[in-house]
């Protein structure tokens, strides 16, 4: 038998050898009743096994008063208070380390509020970002009770808020496994969490005035304007996520993020390595009154920064003009509604005669419900927006998967609205459906999925929309070619409310397309 080092510091190794020895030394006599009422115990007959087990449990448990020699009888073998219960008890230890314990002078450092490190229950990147953010908040989180708001706005450059995250997938196999999806690519849902956390950290950097005598601003995600996946993201190649503030208004901030990954090790073309782009909008609120609060000004320096600022300014002007465009669209909306509802009415009134390549919108629905737990909160104590996007993406992906009959390929997040905060303990209902499909390109059709999040309060008999998410998917051409007998269906609404939702999303996409063409 292999030699056992009793001074080993690995309890799992001890446990393995303990059970090997236990089975090795068991004899048929151990299972045969003796003349006395007590059965023969192989542990009592083997001092080596007793020593090994004693070393194991002395290593894992605090020192206690001397125990009686190990002895098990028929009566006490099932007694939870007996010594024998230790043999069937598996100790569970936290896999997370408290940030207080990592400090060499942990006893001398005052404990930070738990709200400053909730990210430890999320991805390691989100954890690192929130820890960096908490370092900024440490001197700002406990101002005097009557602390005034920031009195003087600062002017900052995009460089001052620029933050970069590196994913060492090529060398850190544990990190790689945390982000791997079933198809050996990066899990988009976890990436959405990290993007939101990075955008939040950047907004804190820009809005901080480094004055402990003023109360800090409450910064919340208002929307995600656009997030485009430009190429698949491998989980075996290092990844970089970088972002900065590109535009500010009176109380709003726009942050642009880029995820880059080289196509190969020799690639030096920066544009070729961009895998994903995203634009987040944050709004600032006074942490005491909850009203909109002014944010620090932005002064772009480089030509690229000035160009990004001008593009963001143009987007804001287009949003203001969208009301006029909407009125023009509404003039012809009646005819468009009738056209959309005509096909759906055939399904409702004459289902046997309906087009087999068409399906009702309501028949594409999926739903998920969950309770929001403390482990999912953000640094402000509310449910983390990245977590909501993660769950919405997973449901949207499943909806597209069930609808298409083959694995979908994620293309973009068209838009996300954060309408109301979600609190710990809320019952959150996520409902999804395929709003419409675009079948002009048969080998790569577009599947547009809507996810709506409702905060439901049964005690109050109320349900409010907290978030809306819009995703676009397609199917891999090679997979679609293998199923040449299968065709993605056209989705039609059955009610006027459904038809209006479809038209609203189509119009938003048309305006976005026109904006891209005019660039």
Domains and CATH numbers, the chain: 11-88 (no CATH), 115-143+153-325 (3.10.129.10), 332-519 (3.10.129.10)
CB of 279 closer than 8 Å to CB of 224: yes
Tokens coding 473? 């998917």
Under the banding of pLDDT at 50, 70 and 90, the label for residue 288 is confident
Rounded to 5°, the CA angle 467-468-470 comes to: 145
The C-alpha atoms of residue 199 and residue 242 are separated, in whole angstroms, by 10
pLDDT (0 to 100) of residue 114: 46
HEC profile for 416-441?
EEECCCCCCCCEEEEEEEEEEEECCC
Give the sheet arrangement for strand 427-438, strand by strand. Answer: 163-167, 239-248, 252-260, 274-286, 217-229, 408-418, 462-475, 446-457, 427-438, 366-371
The yes-or-no verdict on residue 34 having pLDDT over 50 is no
Predicted confidence (pLDDT) at residue 250 exceeds the cutoff of 60: yes
Task: Assess whether pLDDT exceeds 90 at residue 228.
Answer: yes
pLDDT in the model for residue 266: 58
Per-residue pLDDT tens for 145-201?
567 777 788 999 999 999 999 999 999 999 999 999 998 999 999 999 999 999 999
- pLDDT beyond 60 at 516: no
Specify the 3-state DSSP secondary structure of 194. Answer: helix
Residue 387: the pLDDT is 94
When pLDDT is cut at 50, 70 and 90, the band that residue 347 belongs to is: confident
Q: Which residues pair with 380 in a beta bridge?
A: none
Pairing of strands 274-286, 252-260: antiparallel
Q: Is the pLDDT of residue 334 over 90?
A: no
Nearest to 388 by CA among 457, 469, 470, 465: 469
Range in 59-68, 123-132, 157-166 with the lowest mean pLDDT: 59-68
Q: What is the mean pLDDT of residues 231-250?
A: 94
The number of C-alpha atoms within 13 Å of 103 and in the hemisphere containing its C-beta is 11
**CA distances from residue 467 to 135, 183, 212, 284, 391 in whole angstroms, order as listed:** 30, 29, 34, 18, 12
Residue linked to tokens 């920064």: 305
Least confident stretch, 272-276, 330-334, 338-342: 330-334
SS3 259: strand
Looking at the DSSP bridge assignments, the partners of residue 517 are none
Cα–Cα distance, 213 to 143 (Å, whole number)? 6
For residue 488, the SS3 value is: coil
- pLDDT computed for residue 65 by the predictor: 46
| pLDDT tens readout for residues 441-485 | 767 899 999 999 999 999 999 999 999 999 999 998 766 555 665
Give residue for tokens 């003349």.
35
- Structure confidence by residue, pLDDT tens digits, 289-301: 888 999 999 999 9
**Which helix (DSSP H) or strand (DSSP E) does residue 14 occupy?**
helix 11-25
Of 174, 235, 171, 241, nearest in space to 386 by CA:
241
H/E stretch holding 399 reads helix 385-404
Sign of CA dihedral 128, 130, 133, 135: negative
CA atoms of 217 and 295, how far apart (whole Å):
9
Average pLDDT value for the chain: 77
Check pLDDT > 50 for residue 370.
yes
Q: What local confidence, expressed as pLDDT, does residue 366 receive?
A: 98
Q: DSSP secondary structure string, 288-355?
A: TT-SB----EE---SHHHHHHHHHHHHHHHHHHHHHHHHHHHHHTHHHHHHHHHHHHHHHHH-GGGS-
Paired tokens of 256? 């642009």
C-alpha 390, offset from chain centre: 4
Structure tokens at 199: 């955008």
Cα separation, 474 vs 64, whole angstroms: 63
Nearest Cα neighbor of 114 from 475, 378, 434 is 378
* Choice between 426 and 57, residue whose per-residue pLDDT is larger: 426
Structure confidence at residue 342 (pLDDT): 86
410 touches 469 (CB < 8 A): no
- Comparing 102-111, 116-125, 146-155, 438-447, the range with the smallest average pLDDT is 102-111
What is the pLDDT, as a whole number, of residue 270?
58
């Amino acid at each position: 038998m292999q030699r056992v080092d009793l001074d080993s510091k690995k309890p799992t190794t001890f446990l393995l050898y303990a059970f090997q020895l236990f089975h090795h030394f068991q004899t048929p006599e151990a299972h045969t009743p003796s003349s006395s009422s007590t059965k023969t115990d192989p542990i009592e007959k083997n001092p080596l096994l007793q020593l090994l087990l004693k070393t194991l449990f002395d290593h894992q448990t605090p020192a206690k008063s001397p125990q009686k020699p190990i002895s098990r009888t028929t009566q006490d073998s099932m007694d939870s208070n007996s010594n024998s219960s230790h043999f069937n008890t598996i100790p569970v230890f936290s896999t997370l380390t408290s940030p207080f314990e990592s400090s060499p002078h942990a006893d001398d450092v005052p404990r930070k509020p738990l709200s400053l490190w909730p990210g430890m229950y999320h991805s390691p990147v989100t954890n690192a970002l929130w820890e960096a953010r908490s370092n900024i908040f440490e001197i700002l989180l406990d101002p005097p009770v009557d602390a005034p708001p920031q009195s003087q706005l600062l002017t900052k450059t995009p460089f001052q808020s620029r933050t970069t995250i590196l994913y060492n997938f090529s060398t850190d196999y544990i990190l790689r496994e945390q982000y791997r999806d079933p198809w050996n690519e990066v899990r988009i849902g976890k990436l959405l969490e990290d993007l939101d956390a990075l955008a939040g950290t950047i907004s804190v950097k820009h809005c901080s005035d480094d004055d402990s005598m003023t109360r800090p601003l409450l910064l919340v995600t208002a929307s995600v304007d656009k997030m485009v996946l430009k190429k698949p993201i491998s989980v075996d190649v290092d990844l970089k996520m970088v972002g900065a503030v590109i535009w500010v208004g009176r109380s709003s901030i726009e942050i642009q993020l880029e995820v880059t990954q080289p196509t190969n090790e020799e690639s030096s073309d920066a544009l070729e390595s961009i895998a994903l782009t995203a634009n987040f909008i944050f709004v600032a609120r006074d942490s005491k009154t909850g009203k909109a609060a002014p944010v620090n000004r932005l002064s772009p320096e480089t030509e690229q920064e000035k160009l990004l600022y001008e593009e963001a300014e143009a987007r804001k002007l287009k949003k203001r003009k969208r009301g006029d465009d909407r009125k023009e669209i509404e003039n012809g909306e009646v005819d468009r509604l009738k056209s959309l509802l005509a096909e759906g009415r055939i399904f409702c009134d004459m289902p046997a005669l309906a087009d087999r390549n068409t399906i009702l919108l309501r028949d594409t629905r999926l739903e998920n419900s969950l309770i929001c737990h403390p482990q999912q909160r953000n640094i402000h104590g509310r449910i983390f927006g990245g977590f909501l996007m993660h769950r919405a993406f997973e449901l949207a992906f499943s909806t597209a998967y069930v609808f298409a009959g083959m694995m979908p390929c994620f293309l973009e997040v068209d838009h996300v609205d954060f309408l109301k905060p979600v609190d710990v303990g809320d019952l959150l209902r996520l409902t999804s459906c395929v709003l419409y499909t675009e079948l002009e390109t048969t080998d790569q059709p577009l599947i547009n999925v809507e996810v709506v999040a409702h905060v439901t309060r049964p005690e109050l008999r109320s349900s409010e929309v907290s978030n809306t998410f819009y995703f676009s998917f397609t199917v891999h051409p090679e997979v679609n070619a293998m199923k040449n007998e299968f065709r993605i269906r056209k989705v039609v609404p059955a009610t006027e409310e459904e038809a209006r939702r479809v038209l609203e999303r189509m119009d938003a996409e048309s305006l976005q397309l026109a904006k891209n063409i005019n660039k």
